[in-house]
Amino acid sequence: MSLTQIIYSSKPFGFDSSVLDDILTISRVLNARDDITGMLICRADMYLQLIEGPDAAIQATYKRISGDDRHLEINLLVSRQITERMFPKWAMRDDPARSWMWTQAEVSAGAIQKTTPDEIVEIFERLAAENVG
């Protein structure tokens, strides 16, 4: 089965734990319905999200995200066809950005945009390789 995987970054608007909980709750319901899996790396200054699933569902989800006013400066970083999901058990795994991620100053200076698509994919591959759930 051919699947599409995209990774995008955005800046949160009005970030706090209740906004994040709302995003995750809704994402998990809609993603389970639409056969989408993925992961959201989140913190106060950035979202970095990978979603994967059937092409039409991924395109519709990305369009919905692009119109969501909780996201600013949305940038599509990776879009590719895959044959195997990276997060097959996760309607939406969430993870606070770890210490090996960029500092706020680095994010402000464009660290995400300076990272190659392969390096972005590697971030998610490392997290997918962790033995969780």
Q: Which residue has the higher pLDDT, 35 or 94?
A: 35
From CA 115, how far away is CA 34, in angstroms rounded?
30
For residue 115, give Cα distances in angstroms to 30, 42, 68, 97: 29, 17, 25, 15
Q: Which residue has the higher pLDDT, 37 or 20?
A: 37
pTM for this prediction: 0.86
| pLDDT at 131 (0 to 100) | 56
CATH number where 123 lies: 3.30.70.100
Domain extent for 16 = 3-129
Q: At how many degrees (to 10) do helices 55-66 and 17-34 cross?
A: 160
Task: Evaluate if residue 15 carries a pLDDT over 80.
Answer: no
Q: Which residue has the higher pLDDT, 71 or 32?
A: 32
| pLDDT at 133 (0 to 100) | 47
Structural domains in the chain (count)? 1
Sequence-separated (6 or more) residues with CB below 8 Å from residue 90: 37, 38, 39, 133
